[in-house]
Amino acid sequence: MTTATQAQRMSTALWNRFADDRARLYDQYQDVPYDDDTGLAPEVLSGEIERLLAEHHAEPRVSQKALAMEHILLHARISVDPADPFPDKFDHGGVLAALRRRWHAEARAGSLAEAASWFDTLAATGSGRGSLDTGHISPGWQRLFAMGLEGLAEEARRRRATCAPAKGERLAFYQAVEIVCQAAIALARRFAEHCQSLAQGGGPDADRLRALACVCLRVPARPPRTLHEALAFHWLMHELIEFEGEAVRSLGHFDQLFLPYYRADVASGRLTPQEARELFKYYWIKSYARTRGVDNGAHFCLGGQLPDGTDATSELTYLILDAYQEFNAPDPKLSVRLHVGCSDQLVRRVLELIREGHNAIVLINDDVVVPALVKRGKTVEDARTYLPIGCYEPAVDGKEAACTTNLVINLAKPVELVLHDGLDPLRGRQIGPHTGDPQSLADFDAFWEAYKVQLDHLIERSAAAVAEHERHWTRINPSALIASTIEDCLANGRDIGAGGAHYNAVGCVGTGLANAADSLLAIKMAVYDEHRCTMGELVEALDENYVHHEPLRRYLLQRVPKWGNGNVEADAMARAVAEHYCAKIHSFRNERHGPYQAALYSFTFQWALGRDTGALPDGRLARTPLAPGVGAMAGRDKGGVTALLESVTKLDFCQTPNGSVLDIRLHPHSVKGDEGLDALVGLVRTAFGPAKSGPGLFAMQFNILDSKTLAAAQRDPEAYAALQVRVAGYSAYFVRLDKEMQDHLIAQLTHTM
């Protein structure tokens, strides 16, 4: 073993006691002890940034932001904790975020005023959400590791040297890339110098500090050589890109990305498998310390396929799953990509974890996702490298600016608008076109046509507002650092927001499918088919939130079939809504010359939009949550998991390239023992395989617990402090959720196997 290898071997062994360091690292972002001797306090930095921006006010925004970022990384106070193998703390005080908010506010007050006003209307009326989504992007992790920031800066420098003087925007972009890459390297070297200074005092942490200094001198400047260096490089870039202003909604294919470093370390004797598990736990607690089990945190991916279609599972996949089991926290969240060619061993191992309560895991179906992406213009090789971005939204690794939540549309809102001639009943605002007095709609076909008119109007107005916002992207949030990791951005000399990536999508999320389908079927049966009430009587009951109309509400709840129970009429209605919505979304192109892509899921929008939606004909009361994911409304899927799957797999999820998910909740007793695990594997394989009328589910996530346990936790939170639940696209501690979310989760039925 060489001297260098011995040093690296010793370095890894220094972080082989995660259990001892866990509590300390959980609080690592609480009251960070920044050393005043290491740099400037945020209030001083803020003043200096203002002076710098004034001096460079005539330069392009990408140049201004790069200079501001450079100044902060060179001069902000820093802190290093010897217990943390991945230094990342610099006291920026949110100065760059404040600048981004200012630029956004300026745009909203000027040429974006009308578009921004429409987004405000969407939110205020529960019709949806709209924004300029500058996140939901995965950096080019492989490219970063292969080149290091010195390599990326050198490429930008070389391209700038051959760029014509007339190409001022490209010249500014390339120069900004050089600036931010060199600034990130300088920050790491500041960490190294601080570690060396602290180590000079000796003490029990001196060896750790010297090891950290060696890591920071290597990365992110140059390609990593060891697993420790690769993880340190990876996390620091995550933090710097989020600091720049883009939420890093995927941490990459963990088992593929780190496999070469793991294998090399083990083969050389630098690392044992047990020490590798420890390093991953030290890594994950970074994200967990940020969210503390109550928010949407980091996201990493395992499994899937290589570009040639072969299975990507390796020995590191299983080691990471073992480490994840030992780590046992609701954050970060984990996606596992499954496909027809993956082994039952992988499926069983993942389902064992889910059965134990590790419900921050989502299963994603390659056999649907890959064809869905190919239909939207990706090559099959690129499609096979997709990463789940955010929650379930796939994007090509290192090649795509997917912008997966630019839009959210409440699919039930158009029902409410038809019933009120385009008026939002809770606020008395005209937000949709006039489709006439609903009593004048002679039959259900006429009502259905009016529903499509209202839905199309919401989508069209929203798409126009997104387009207007995208035209201002590079002035609101220029993004030289993350753009440097995307090969096409450097090749084209264009920022992410200017369409520099190879693939450029806009995502639109459809929420409340069950409420829309159930409400439309209720109107068809109650008003037109069975004449249980007139349209006027139905509208009156809704406007009064069913007060004094309980018999009608009982009929709507109990007699009208509901989506999620395998009923032919309800399933046909849901499919009709989904097909029209997806086709409409896919009819648009965005300002970066890419497609719009449809999604069907809820995340937390089921609560946010439900609070501003009135009573619906499906029996739902005003201001209560909408349905989760693509499943049934809470408590209405009474036919069991088989009936639920029969309904949901009738949807064509190849038409939801921006993502979709089904929530399944099982009682622990139904999956006990080997027999229960076999049944669970069979359930997943069936759900992901081709159905009679569709290709199978896009994705699924589980809560394996019962309502009695949740109710007990609500009554005695201290006794159930560690109980984790899958909320939507993330997991959290049940007792830390607000009562509305708790009640909604308790109301959901537990399915039987």
Q: Specify if 41 maps to a domain.
A: yes
Please give the Cα distance from 400 to 660 (Å, whole number). 19
Please give the Cα distance from 578 to 581 (Å, whole number). 5
Residue where one domain finishes, among candidates 221, 236, 267: 221
CA distances from 656 to 213, 383, 431 (A): 47, 14, 27
Per-residue confidence (pLDDT) for residue 743, from 0 to 100: 81
List Cβ<8 Å contacts ≥24 apart for 371-376. Answer: 371/654, 371/695, 372/653, 372/654, 372/655, 372/656, 372/657, 372/698, 373/657, 375/654, 375/655, 375/657, 376/505, 376/586, 376/595, 376/597, 376/657
Per-residue confidence (pLDDT) for residue 1, from 0 to 100: 47
Q: Specify if 302 maps to a domain.
A: no
Residue where one domain finishes, among candidates 605, 631, 660: 660
Task: State whether 120 and 212 are in the same domain.
Answer: no
Q: Quick one: how far is CA 213 from the chain centroid?
A: 33
Q: Quick one: how far is CA 169 from the chain centroid?
A: 31
**Residue 701 contacts by C-beta under 8 Å, 6 or more apart in sequence?**
359, 361, 362, 363, 661, 662, 663, 664, 726
Q: Specify if 529 maps to a domain.
A: yes
Per-residue confidence (pLDDT) for residue 144, from 0 to 100: 96
Task: State whether 166 and 134 are in the same domain.
Answer: no
Peptide bond into 371 cis (omega under 30): no
Per-residue confidence (pLDDT) for residue 5, from 0 to 100: 52
Task: State whether 468 and 510 are in the same domain.
Answer: yes
Task: State whether 527 and 603 are in the same domain.
Answer: yes
Q: Specify if 486 maps to a domain.
A: no
Please give the Cα distance from 583 to 597 (Å, whole number). 10
Closest CA to 176 of 301, 336, 69, 51: 69
Per-residue confidence (pLDDT) for residue 729, from 0 to 100: 67
Distance from the first to the final alpha carbon of the chain: 55
Task: State whether 81 and 164 are in the same domain.
Answer: yes
Structural domain count of the chain: 2
Give me 205's structure tokens: 């942490």
**Residue 2 contacts by C-beta under 8 Å, 6 or more apart in sequence?**
none
Per-residue confidence (pLDDT) for residue 751, from 0 to 100: 66
Per-residue confidence (pLDDT) for residue 693, from 0 to 100: 63
Closest CA to 127 of 504, 665, 516: 516
Please give the Cα distance from 616 to 126 (Å, whole number). 13
Task: State whether 528 and 592 are in the same domain.
Answer: yes
Please give the Cα distance from 259 to 190 (Å, whole number). 29
Q: Are 196 and 206 a contacting pair, CB within 8 Å?
A: no
- What residue ranges of the chain have pLDDT lower than 70? 1-12, 691-694, 722, 726, 728-730, 749-753
Closest CA to 135 of 366, 299, 286: 299
**Helix, strand or coil, per DSSP, at residue 744:** helix
Q: Specify if 256 maps to a domain.
A: no
Give me 108's structure tokens: 């909203």
Read out DSSP for 113-171?
A: HHHHHHHHHHHHTTSEEE------B---HHHHHHHHHHHHHHHHHHHHHTS-TT-HHHH
Residue 462 has, within 13 A of its CA and on its CB side, a CA count of 33
Q: Specify if 522 maps to a domain.
A: yes
Task: State whether 134 and 45 are in the same domain.
Answer: no
How confident is the prediction for the chain on average, in pLDDT?
Answer: 94
Please give the Cα distance from 32 to 91 (Å, whole number). 9
Task: State whether 548 and 635 are in the same domain.
Answer: yes
Q: Are 561 and 637 a contacting pair, CB within 8 Å?
A: no
Please give the Cα distance from 260 to 146 (Å, whole number). 12
Per-residue confidence (pLDDT) for residue 752, from 0 to 100: 60
Q: Specify if 6 maps to a domain.
A: no
Task: State whether 464 and 543 are in the same domain.
Answer: yes
Per-residue confidence (pLDDT) for residue 455, from 0 to 100: 98
**Residue 321 contacts by C-beta under 8 Å, 6 or more apart in sequence?**
302, 349, 350, 353
Residue 282 has, within 13 A of its CA and on its CB side, a CA count of 26
Q: What is the pLDDT of residues 111-139, one digit of tens each?
A: 999 999 999 999 999 999 999 999 888 89
Give me 251's structure tokens: 């941490």
Q: Specify if 350 maps to a domain.
A: no
Phi-psi category of residue 422: left, alpha or beta, with phi > 0 → left and psi -120 to 50 → alpha: left
Task: State whether 594 and 624 are in the same domain.
Answer: yes
b/e per residue 263-277 (b: at least 16 CB within 10 A): eebbeeebbeeebbb
What backbone torsions phi and psi does residue 126 show, to the nearest 5 degrees?
70, 15
Q: What is the pLDDT of residues 202-227, one digit of tens each?
A: 999 999 999 999 999 999 999 999 99
Give me 392's structure tokens: 């379930």
Please give the Cα distance from 454 to 402 (Å, whole number). 27
Task: State whether 132 and 89 are in the same domain.
Answer: no
Residue where one domain finishes, among candidates 605, 635, 660: 660
Specify the pTM: 0.94
Please give the Cα distance from 226 to 215 (Å, whole number). 9
Instruction: For the chain, count helices (H), then strands (E).
Output: 30, 19
Domain extent at residue 595:
111-138+400-476+506-660
Per-residue confidence (pLDDT) for residue 669, from 0 to 100: 87
